[in-house]
Amino acid sequence: MNFYCMTLFPDMVNDAFNTSITKRACENGIISMTAVNIRDFADNKHNSVDDYPYGGGAGMLMQAEPVYRCYEYIKGKIGSNARVIYTTPTGKVFNQKMSEEFAKEENLIFLCGHYEGIDERVLEEIVTDNVSIGDYVLTGGELASLVMMDSISRLVPGVLNNLSSARYESHSEGLLEYPQYTRPAVWHGKSVPEVLLSGNHKKIQEWYKEESYKRTMERRPDMLENDI
Nearer to ligand ADE, 66 or 113 (CB): 113
Nearest approach in angstroms of CB 66 to ligand ADE is 19
Q: How remote is the C-alpha of 27 from its chain's centroid?
A: 20
Name residue 57's amino acid.
G
- Binding residues (CB under 6 A) for ligand ADE: these are 87-89, 113, 132-134, 136-138, 141, 144
In the complex, what is the shortest distance from the CB of residue 126 to ligand ADE, in angstroms, rounded to a whole number? 16
Of the two residues 129 and 211, which places its CB atom closer to ligand ADE in the complex?
Answer: 129
For 169, residues 6+ apart whose C-beta sits below 8 A from its C-beta are 177
Give 33 or 144: the residue with its C-beta nearer to ligand ADE: 144
Compute the least distance from the CB of residue 100 to ligand ADE, in Å: 19
> By C-beta, is 30 or 147 nearer to ligand ADE?
147
Query: What residue is closest to ligand ADE based on CB?
Result: 144
Least Å distance, CB 165 to ligand ADE, is: 27
